[in-house]
Structure 1
Amino acid sequence: MNRYKKIIFFFIIISCSYHGLTAFTFPKANFIEYDFNFSDDERLKQVKDLLETNKTEEAIQKLYQLIAEAEKLKDTNLIIEGSLLLADVYRDNGDYKSSNKQFYKLLPLIKENNNYLQILYFKKGGNFQKEGEIDSAMVNYKNALFYSNFFNNNEDLKAKINANLAGIYYLKEDYGKAIEHSKIAANYQKILGNIEIEAGILNNLGSIYFMQGNYKEALNVFQQTFKLVGFGQEDLQKQIRRSSYINSAYAYSGLKQFQKAFEYQDKYISLDDSIKQELKYKEIAEIESKFKVASKEKEAEIEKSKRLEAEYLSYGLGFSICILLILLFVLYKMYKLNKKNYTLKIDQKRLMHQSKIEKLKSDSQTKILAATLDGRLEERKVIASVLHDNVSALLSAANLHLFASKKQLKDQVPVEINKSQKILNEASESIRDLSHRLVPSLLLKFGLSIAVQDLCEKSSNSTIEFSCDTKNITRFDQNFELKIFNIISELVNNILKHSNANNATIKLEQLEGQLQLVIFDNGKGFDLNEINDGVGLSQVKARINVLEGIIKIKSSTEGTRIYISTPIVY
């Protein structure tokens, strides 16, 4: 008899596989969303309208503007709601890190508001869950559940938190906790009257019992699911019923009740075939509907073309006459313009000649400025070398002589020798610092990448943070490295002095023989027409021209972006 049951169970699996079923329907740990009800602020409504019409970039831009205005006005509620919506936009587009970044910024504002805290932790847990970081997701869901307990009429969110926690515990194979939270979630959905959602949670609960090997309890839960959905013909009800049928078949097979397993397996196959057939009918009906619409549109196009053809014939003659009159008028005007063009050509040649002269002057000035800067660079290198190699060495030698004298005098060392040593040490440190300021030692020893990273670190402070990203940067010609470093230093100084930014980034990359530099910040920007005559920017442009590179600057109230590309000198 046992052998007969095993053969029956084997045929159940073969039959299920034939109908497209390859495994037991286990509970899913998918993230269940909770929609936050925003206020009636018109600007938030405009942003949501943009999102609904797939204008995501414009919506994000307006949200950042809205949050900035709210921060100026110290409108805390608008800051919170705008940031929550911005976090949702990032999440919907798959950028979970940026979404969580918005939540981290919000925490100091809502630390006393339990309602916002439960929503924030719930959504943050969802982001971690979607990235597969289930431990972080669990911590945030638990926090959300803690703050939700402060509210009595919040069953919907509590249900979703518990449902998501059940999924997390299921992934961690903690079936006891998964069952506990599934029951809580199902009970809240029962209170809310969401029968189909309650049935879906119970179906998952039965699947967890099955994983425990508790087949009887699993069957009891599946029977509750059948009672909830009944024989309803809505798509969701059919899907839940189909899933419960096959789950019951597996549970009965686990209890060795193969006849019952076959019965529920047949119900599953019958309902599955019915659902697939309905989908085919819907597809066919949709195709027929589209064909009829296309046919009517084609008939309308034919009628429209006939009407247009008649209109074209009636307007054709009048249009031709108009064209002829216009041509005559144009010929007359051309005759008069030819006379003016002759004098204009002479003026243009004069202007072009003058423009060439101005360009030559500009190029000469640029070369003179670049030569001056190169001269300064060489002068600084020489001074730094003299200070480091000669003066510093002389001071060190003097200090050694004083040290040797102290050894000979032993306990009878005059105070003047100690003071002299102290003065020599201070002089050595001052000369070393001056030498490093003239030509950075990190640049000479380790190259451009390390020197720029050090510059970013030293330039960062409590009001602005510089980040650095370098790719494929090797060692280049020393003078070339110094020139590029001086350009970067000048641009960093401009950001520190004028931008009022709190975030700036330097990107440096070696690509196909070109050194590409991008510097951008989120400051107030500047007017390119007004700043072009600045000494610092002129020096930068002069160096780029001499290096046969290009520089492009874009600036607005949202920040400044400077792109530089120049051939590498090895």
Structure 2
Amino acid sequence: MFKLKIIVLFFIFFQLVNYNVFAKFSNEIIVSKIDADLFYSDDERIKFIKELIEQGNTEEALEKLYEFIEVVKKNNETKLIIEGNILLADIFRENGDYKKSTEIFNSIIPSISNDYENLQYIYFKKGGNFQLDSQIDSAKFNYEKAISFNKNIEGKEDLKAKIYANLSGIFYLNGDYESAIENFKIAADFQKTLGNKDIEAGILNNLGGVYYMQGNYKNALEMFEQAFNLVGYGQSDLQKQTRNTSFINMAYAYSGLKNYKKAFEYQDKFFSLNDSLQQELKYKEIAEIQSKYSLATKENETEIEKAKRRDAEVLTYGLGFAILVLLTGIYFLYKLYKLSKKNHALQISQEQLLNQNKIEKIKSDSQAKILVATLDGGLEERKKIANVLHDNVSALLSATNLHLYASKKKLKDKLPVEIDKAQNILEEASEQIRDLSHKLISSVLLKFGLGVAIQDLCEKSSNSTILLKSDSKNIERFNQNFEIKIFNIINELVNNILKHSQAKNGTIKLEQLNGNLQIIVFDNGVGFNENEIEVKSGIGLSQIKARIKMLNGLLNIKSTNEGTRIFISVPIIY
């Protein structure tokens, strides 16, 4: 349950990063730019300095800002002195010097005792500095101080909403869930008034998260559903991310309500949308690279055009410059030729890289097919051997034993001791044959199916150091070869848990859903690094991946030092 809550917190508090308020309530804040909506100045010099900051020219911005403050101090322009110092404190805050930022804010406060809007903004920013510096009590004091000015300020709902949202985070960190809920509701109401549906949805996700931590899964689900309804199926990045967060939150809420069917449904929606978002991110990165390349090409073309114009101007001054113009033209032609060759070589390298990637993919697919074919061949051989042992050898041993039993009846008192010994040997041989047949192919699997076989596997694998449990839903009889392949995959995962995880508990969940067999295997062990495992001794993992790939299935592995969770989904073969 502890691990589940940690995973839930990651998603339910992720949304706040986008609103310049505290993310995940882990004493972190994400601030990338001066918040123009909260701090505004109509002075053109401050606007110019803000533009420099937006462009990433922080050093130049600081130099200009210090010059500006010196000028307005000499002119005794109180309003601009305050605005300049607020901007300076924000810059120190962005660059991680929270102590210096707070000192500057404190120096401003005595001179603006009646300027309630700036006072509220400053106390809000001070609260953020203290929270970033892990001084939670000081952060709480400053947020509450900022709220105390509400009665003197009309409007500014956006700033007020952010103050209440951050204060909610403080209450959450202190374990005061009721106060956290109350403040989140106020923040959501402000955003609703402003019509900021996307931000309101993020706050509702956080509110649902607090309900979830209380164990109030019904209210949590209601908040997550409201958040989803606000963003709907909007296509902006923030709406997609909020929808994705709502899906996984609803999955956990339904899980808390023990409605596992709905939980799996929203989990599938989350995985599907999450994969899509990751793909979009890759496309955006590619587009950004292409854009930069196009910009560089245009700049190069512009330079060439300038050179041509210069050449034309030189020609107008007379024949005396003809040789110089000719040499310049030859020089630029040479440069263009070299650039053309370079671009051509780059294009060839790119094509070679693409072809190499295609070859590697074909090689990987071929290796997977060969591995699966080898496993399938071994499977068929084991089935044949098991059938021969069970149907033929075992039957012959039983028949021989019956003949000896009949002979004992006839001989009665003249019974040689060798007959008893022969019977004992036959019984031992029969038992070994049965054990060997079971090891080749599970008799429980063949007789009763996958669900019962996994339950039997868990019971036999459990011991004094680890408890394995199984949970099967809607599991019926499938194609025999399909059942054997799935059983072998799960058996390999169980062996990994027993050998490497150092876990005390493990669970295997099976569910038939929409024509797919979904398998979740998780434990509370030490976890592993998938890449290191594959490099060192990833034969078992490679076999599992190859088998799932040939079954057209999906494999997802998440492993931390708190445990491992493996999700598998494959189309069922009946």
TM-score range, shorter chain: 0.3 to 0.5
The structure whose Rg is larger is 1
| TM-score normalised by length of structure 1 | 0.48
Please, what TM-score do these two structures have when normalized by structure 2? 0.47
